[in-house]
Amino acid sequence: MLQKPQEKFSIYNIKKGDSLASVATFFEKTQQEIKGFHNIFCEHEELIVFDFPVTLKQLYVYPYLHYKAIGVAEHLDESTYLQHKKQDGTRHYNVQYISTEGEKNTVINFEINIIHKGIYTEGHLYLINKITPTTINGENDANDTEEIKEKIGNVAYPLQVLVKENGMWQEVIFDKAIKKRFEITKQEILEYYKGQTTYNMLAHAEERLCNEANFKKMFENNWLLDTVFNNVYKYYNYEHPIKETVKFELLNHVSPIAFDVEQHIGDFEFDSKLITINRKGILNDSRSRASLELAVGETEYDGTVSEKATGKFEQKIIIDMKTFNIVSIYLRLSIDLQTPRSVEVKVNMI
């Protein structure tokens, strides 16, 4: 059973004699920065206009933390914390996935809703609902096989996802409602489609969707979850980027490719209340280029040692600092093989 924790916040307690100017000087920030940051989080009666209200006791500021508590750099003085908190309401996103192999492009589009269901000891619980049919290269018309696949794929939704405090998803939740949705979908399919191919597709789908272990395994390295729920809520320092290894399923039927990525915070726009997180890196996978080309059927591997594959990682995440909702995500990954390949994912709030 998921258990609710108590929420905690970092604050600066206002002392006698403090003013907006003196606190800004103390934190080595402008008065506009101190005022703007505080006004994002505070209640209406605590808003700072020209100076501190006489009733103001606590001030939201950029937190100062010791580097060991952050694990980012050897000497870390000033940091900004992007908090992962309860997000009210339903967020509506358009999702586009573009896969490129040489000159061939495949563009997938659909729309989703994301609802924050609560904060528990294990993490944040989200509900993802797919609200439009998937289109491929702009086409809504599908043959019988594609239509059956679409119906089967929708059984997983609404999808419950448990997300860590830092924004990374850790597991999908399996429940009995999935089995019920599958049985209903199965009957609907069998009313219109007959034949051995249909029976085989349903049998395979039942094995994946109605078994908890198989259901969870089906979402391992899922490109949508890996894009939307990423390592974004944490402490940042403007001078020291966060370095980490990111893995993403870039090649079909090949285990995820590793990238060395630097993640850093961009400028805060006080007028729009938006902040940008940039993630850039290069491919650094233990497998050779030849072995990866062999895995995708491009060449015959003769066993000789070859150079490593090269590629790039680029991601831009825009967050609304007033609600902490993700406004948009752009992700592009590439790998240089005999046939160059890349994936682009665009997620935009509607």
- pLDDT of 7-54, one tens digit each? 344 677 888 888 888 888 877 778 887 887 788 777 878 888 889 988
Please give the average per-residue pLDDT across 56-78, as a whole number. 48
User: Among 98-102, 270-274, 286-290, which stretch is predicted with the lowest mean pLDDT?
Assistant: 270-274
Q: Which residues pair with 268 in a beta bridge?
A: 275
Most confident of the ranges 83-87, 118-122, 182-186, 306-310: 182-186
Across 331-343, average pLDDT: 95
- Please report, as a single letter, which amino acid is at residue 27: F
% of the chain surpassing 70 pLDDT: 87
pLDDT, mean over the chain: 84
**DSSP designation for 4:** P
Rounded mean pLDDT of 175-201?
Answer: 92
Higher pLDDT, 145 or 66: 145
C-alpha distance from residue 133 to each of 97, 111, 309 (Å): 14, 8, 36
Residue 296 has, within 13 A of its CA and on its CB side, a CA count of: 20
**Predicted pLDDT at 194:** 81
Q: Is 236 helix (H, G, I), strand (E, B) or coil?
A: strand
Alpha carbon 201 to chain centroid distance? 30
User: Residue 95: is it exposed, middle or buried by C-beta count within 10 angstroms (0-12/13-18/19+)?
Assistant: buried
Q: How is residue 312 annotated by DSSP?
A: E
User: Residue 85 and residue 83: Cα distance in Å, rounded?
Assistant: 6
Distance of CA 162 to the CA centre of its chain: 12
Is pLDDT larger for residue 282 or for residue 59? Answer: 282
pLDDT of residue 73: 32
What is the pTM for the complete model shown? 0.74
Mean pLDDT of 131-141: 82
Residue 5 is predicted with a pLDDT of 39
d(CA 12, CA 288): 52
Per-residue DSSP letter, 102: T
- Tokens matching residue 56: 């103001």
Pair of tokens at residue 274: 């938006």
Contact 140, 146 (CB under 8 A): no
User: Is the pLDDT higher at 301 or at 263?
Assistant: 263
CA 338 remoteness from chain centre? 30
104: how many CB neighbours lie within 10 A of its CB?
9
Residue 2: the pLDDT is 42
Q: How confident is the model at residue 235, as a pLDDT? A: 74
What is the reported pLDDT for 304?
60
- Burial class (CB within 10 angstroms; exposed 0-12, middle 13-18, buried 19+) of 194: exposed
The confidence score (pLDDT) of residue 142 equals 60
Buried b (16+ CB within 10 A) or exposed e, 2-28: eeeeeeeeeebeeeeebebeebbeebe
Q: Is the pLDDT at 221 greater than 50, yes or no?
A: yes
Confidence (pLDDT) at 6: 37
Give 66's contacts (C-beta < 8 A, 6+ positions apart): 76
pLDDT band at 65 (very low <50, low <70, confident <90, very high): very low
Helix (H, G, I), strand (E, B) or coil at 200: helix
Q: Which residues pair with 317 in a beta bridge?
A: 277, 329
Token readout for 248 is 């993403």
DSSP character for 273? T
17-21, 100-104, 111-115, 258-262: range with lowest mean pLDDT: 17-21
Q: What are phi and psi of 273, to 5 degrees?
A: 60, 35
239 vs 29 pLDDT, higher one: 29
What lies within 8 Å, CB to CB, of 253 at 6+ separation is 295, 296
Q: Is 181 helix (H, G, I), strand (E, B) or coil?
A: helix
Compute the average pLDDT of residues 248-255.
Answer: 90
